[in-house]
């Protein structure tokens, strides 16, 4: 059994979960336990009361408000970092600079860090101690986007003409998902990003921007439409191809494909057609844990290629173009 230490006892760790009373694998506790090859040996939070409550509710034997003591005590193979965004760099660096024992892998929540200097430091130190850092850009583990990526490679939908997206809750906190999804599925990079509007919907120092930009050498138009999540939450993607339109709506609950066809009047219009991209039986976070297990079993770094910090690096640089190199 591989030993797991969870750092940060909040929502993504499973703080609001019913721990095993449902079939959801959308938190760390559920995802690691569902795999069968991991043992949750400890949890850490600066709030000792929260750590103790989380430990008791989740059935984790050890809890602490001191990261160094926890690492020395439980000697984890995996450390999962689910602390607030602005702490990711400091927590990760503290782990990488520990004298011993070091974990075999770090599973870090997005965004990985806050600026160029922090990114360089993490990459250098990770290489020096030979500990991979994988980022929980969770949609890279999603069968939906994995299938969409394969469809892009095969040009299944024809030529990409335009992308429109809508999001809320901060460019760096939530917009990072859209930037990374588009990079991941298309294999293309962004250029000429420009802020058109900005909304402050509750996240300090992280505006929800409306952004227009271009993708790839063909300069495909891309829009990120910022929305004030205080009204309600939207997370949508709208891909327009030469052969039709693919819409992914309501946090992936709805996936619709409309194909071009010619009506009796000779007009080229769209009509709904079945689409087989979505596999509702697989959890992205559970798939991420499976990748960690495969790496620990085989020590093959190639199983982590799509989620390593090195691969997410261009995503972070794209964000920082509009955030003055600071996402906090």
- CATH assignment at residue 78: 3.40.50.720
Closest CA to 252 of 283, 274, 224: 283
Residue 252 covered by a domain: yes
> pTM (2 decimals)?
0.89
Per-residue pLDDT of the chain (328 residues; tens, 9 = 90+): 999 999 999 988 987 665 544 445 679 999 999 999 999 999 999 999 999 999 999 999 999 999 999 999 999 999 999 999 999 999 999 999 987 789 999 999 999 999 999 999 999 999 999 999 999 998 999 999 999 999 999 999 999 999 999 999 999 999 999 999 999 999 999 999 999 999 988 777 889 999 999 999 999 999 999 999 999 999 999 999 999 999 999 999 899 999 999 999 999 999 999 998 876 556 889 999 999 999 999 999 889 988 999 999 999 999 998 865 344 4
d(CA 320, CA 136): 19
Residue-level pLDDT at 325? 37
**158 and 31 inside one domain:** no
For 164, the domain range is 143-273
d(CA 281, CA 219): 36
**221 and 207 inside one domain:** yes
Residue 318 covered by a domain: no
**86 and 192 inside one domain:** no
Q: Give the three-state DSSP class for 264.
A: coil
Residue 170 covered by a domain: yes
d(CA 78, CA 80): 6
Number of domains in the chain: 2
d(CA 57, CA 59): 6
**301 and 233 inside one domain:** no
d(CA 190, CA 169): 21
Return the sign of the alpha-carbon dihedral for residues 99, 105, 110, 113.
positive
**152 and 135 inside one domain:** no
**134 and 154 inside one domain:** no
Residue-level pLDDT at 24? 58
């Amino acid at each position: 059994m591989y030993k797991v230490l969870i750092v940060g006892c909040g929502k993504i760790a499973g703080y609001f979960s019913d721990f095993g009373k449902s079939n959801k694998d959308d938190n760390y506790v559920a995802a690691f336990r569902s795999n069968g090859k991991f043992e949750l040996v400890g949890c850490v939070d600066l709030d000792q009361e929260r750590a103790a409550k989380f430990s008791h509710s989740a059935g984790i034997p050890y809890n602490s408000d001191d990261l160094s003591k926890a690492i020395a005590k439980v000697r984890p193979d995996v450390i999962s970092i689910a602390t607030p965004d602005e702490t990711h760099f400091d927590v990760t660096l503290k782990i990488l600079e520990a004298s011993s024992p070091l974990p075999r892998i770090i599973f870090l929540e997005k965004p990985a860090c806050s600026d160029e200097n922090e990114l360089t430091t993490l990459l250098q130190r990770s290489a020096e101690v030979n500990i991979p850092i994988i980022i929980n850009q969770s949609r890279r583990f999603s069968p939906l986007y994995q299938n969409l990526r394969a469809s892009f490679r095969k040009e299944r939908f024809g030529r990409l003409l335009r992308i429109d997206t809508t999001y809320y809750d901060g460019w760096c906190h939530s917009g990072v998902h859209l930037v990374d999804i588009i990079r991941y599925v298309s294999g293309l990079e962004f250029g000429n990003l420009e802020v058109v509007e900005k909304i402050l919907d509750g996240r300090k120092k992280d505006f929800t921007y409306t952004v227009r930009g271009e993708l790839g050498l063909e300069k495909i138009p891309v829009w990120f439409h910022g929305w004030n999540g205080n009204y309600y939450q939207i997370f949508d993607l709208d891909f327009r191809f030469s052969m039709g339109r693919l819409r992914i709506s309501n946090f992936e609950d709805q996936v619709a494909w409309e194909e071009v066809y010619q009506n009796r009047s000779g007009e080229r219009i769209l009509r709904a057609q079945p689409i087989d991209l979505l596999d509702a039986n697989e959890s992205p976070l559970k798939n991420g844990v499976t990748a960690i297990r495969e790496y620990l079993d085989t020590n093959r770094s190639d199983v982590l290629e799509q989620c390593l910090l090195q691969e997410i690096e261009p995503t972070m640089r794209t964000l920082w173009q509009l955030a003055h190199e600071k996402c906090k």
